[in-house]
Structures are given as structure tokens and as C-alpha cells.
Amino acid sequence: MSHFRQNFITKEWVIIAPERAKRPDQFRSDKGLKVLPEYDATCPFCPGNEHLTPPAVMEIKSGGSWAQRTVPNKFAAVMPELSAERHLEGKYLTVDGFGIAEVVVEHPSHNKDLALLELEDVKGVLRMYKERATELAKNPQVDLVTIFKNHGLRAGTSLEHSHSQIIATAIVPIHMRYWMNQALTYHDDFGECPFCLLLKDELRYQVRVIIDSEHFVAWCPFASKSPFEIRVMPKRHNSQYDCINEAEIDDLAVVLRSLLKKLYNGLADPDYNFVIYSSTVSEGETQYFHWQMTIVPKLTTPAGFEMGTGIFINVMPPEDAAKFLREVSVA
């Protein structure tokens, strides 16, 4: 039966409409598993083409060559040489386009997506996220560091070679402020991190949990906005991703690769976005915010109702999505 569900943190509503649903396996991508070459002479991220990108700001070496590489984004929408000073134009507020945008090249091979990498390479990517987030946060103009990956055309990627991005800005968007303020209000009222409480609740009921590892829980949120949306959260309370320790990196590498491989095998490599959310630099480590990762396969398209109301219609109940993903082999 169709029904509304409310997000515990943000208070946003979604509609779960199972009568409109396909079977979980019918959400498999119809684009087909594309076969890419191991090397592309025109690709700026392939070995030997390093001159096509700005000089690397960080490299992780393996066997004398690079295994992961971070470079400034050559076509960034923000620029580090600008200021974060505010200006009024009549009634309107503007800010110079300050920001630092970097690209993390996840592997030398042109045809290896994150889901298909060896575990040590996934660990290398996660370590690079941590090191670069820590370094970018030292800039006095930076207040938010966002780590994300776009996989596939529907997710907004423009280059096939597997990569992710880190963008540091002085601007903190209103939805992030609202999210943090809601969490702060709950903590002020009840003296507990609402995300920690949410984690305990999901572990108690288990119906939406996909993976329960030593350090992380991955589940399909109760008020998922779209089919197969996944949330990953550390069991240890931390507000910022760059507080992650080595044991957690090792564990997260297993969890993340397993989740992406489940999507790859179970849904035929759908396009997806993932984002790692941390508290702002100025807030630092807080008792009320909990860093987390969201993975969103691009399986449906929001339409007029979503645009008009802000209420998303999800035709795949998260309980069914979680059950399907739990059963997908990662071999």
C-alpha cells in the first residue's frame, strides 16, 4: 500500500509506492556492461598522459609507479586564487568563486571501476580522501570539504576513467546547514546524537541492513528518496571523515567495494553518485553530527511532482531493496 514516510533527521517526506514497483531484478541497467580498453591514448588519467593534467598534489606509489593520483581539476567551477568575500549587488548577495577542486584518479587502468579494484587499491583511494580532506581544511577560507563520485553519464561524469572528486568551499549550502541544525536541536533536546540513535534502531530491526561489519553499517534508509539508495555510517561517533583511523579504512574498503560490487552484479552496473558528508570545518568535531556516505543509483528520474512538492516518490520499498542486495553475490 502506498504511504508517506518521514526522514527522522531532516523531516522531509517521501512516498513509498510499492504497487508501482518492478521486481528488484527488473531495475537492472539496460545500458549493458561496456567493455573498455586497459589504456586509452587520449585519456588524461591514463599512465603516460600525466602531462595532460596539472601536476599531481598527491600520489600513492605501488611498484615504482603511481597507484592513485590526485590532481587539481583543470575545468573546475571554483578557483583557489579568488577570495570568499561577500558583496551586495542591490538586494542580492554574491561571493567570489573561491574553492579548491581536485580529481582523485582511482587506478592507472582505464577499464577498472572502483567496484572492480583490488582491496588494497580501494584502501588507497580512501586514504587519499582522508589526506586531501585534512590538507584542504587547513586553508583558512575553507569551511566545507565534500568528497563525491559520479559514475556514468546519468550521474554526471564526463570521463570514463574511474575517478572521484573533492571540492572545498567557503560556502556551506542551506541544506547542509539545515541538516546540521536539525541534528543540533535533537541533541539539545535529548542529549544524544540522532544519527547514533538511528544506527542503533537499524541494527535492532535489521530489515533494511545490507552489511553489518566491525566498524560500519550499510542500510537502505527508511525514507529512501529513490530505489536502492544506500547509507553507510561508522559505528564510532565522528563528525568528519578525516578522523577515520586505519582499522576503519581497512573495514570501509571491504564494505564499499562489496556494496558497489552488489550494484554491479545485481543491477548490471547502474550509474550512481556517492557523497561523503562531514560537518563543517568551523564546527569541527561535534557531539551531534555523524559523518556518513550516501550511494544513490540513478534508476529513476524525478518529475513534476517532485519538483513541485519536494516529495520524492520511491517505487521500491527500502526493505525489499535491502533484502535483494543482501542476497547478491560479490564473487
Q: Which domain holds residue 161?
A: 3-327
Res 133: pLDDT: 98
Dist. CA 293–CA 277, nearest whole Å: 6
Residue 277 · residue 9 · CB < 8 Å: no
Are the CB atoms for 276 and 148 separated by under 8 Å?
yes
pLDDT digits (tens, 9 = 90+) for 221-242: 999 999 999 999 999 999 999 9
Q: From 49, 237, 263, select the one nearest 161 (Cα to Cα).
A: 49
Q: In percent, how much of the chain has pLDDT > 90? A: 89
Enter the C-alpha cell of residue 197: 540513535
The rounded distance, in Å, linking the Cα atoms of 27 and 290 is: 31
Confidence of residue 31 (pLDDT cuts 50, 70, 90): low
What is the band of 251 on the pLDDT scale with cuts at 50, 70, 90?
very high
Three-state DSSP class for 32?
A: coil
Non-local CB neighbours of 143 within 8 Å, separated by 6+ positions: 169, 170, 171, 172, 280, 281, 282
The pair phi, psi for residue 291, each rounded to 5°, is: -65, 155
> In the sheet where 292-297 sits, what is the strand order?
58-62, 65-72, 99-105, 163-169, 144-151, 272-277, 292-297, 230-234, 216-219, 209-212
Using the predicted structure, report yes or no on whether residue 258 has a pLDDT greater than 70: yes
What is the number of domains present in the chain? Answer: 1
Express each pLDDT in 81-98 by its tens digit: 999 889 999 999 999 999
Residue 27 pLDDT > 90: no
Contact 100, 136 (CB under 8 A): yes
Determine the pLDDT at residue 308. Answer: 96
At 293-330, the pLDDT tens digits run 999 999 999 999 999 999 999 999 999 999 999 999 99
Say how many C-beta atoms besides its own lie within 10 A of residue 187's C-beta.
18
Question: Please, what sign has the CA dihedral across residues 236, 240, 241, 244?
Answer: negative
- Structure confidence at residue 286 (pLDDT): 95
pLDDT at position 22: 65
Where b means 16+ CB within 10 Å and e means fewer, 138-171 reads ebebbbbbbbbbbbbebbebeebbbbbbbbbbbe
Mean model confidence pLDDT for the chain? 94
Residues with active-site annotation: 163
- pLDDT bracket for residue 158 (50, 70, 90): confident
Q: What's the CATH code of the domain at 279?
A: 3.30.428.10
Confidence of residue 32 (pLDDT cuts 50, 70, 90): low
Q: What is the pLDDT of residue 249?
A: 98
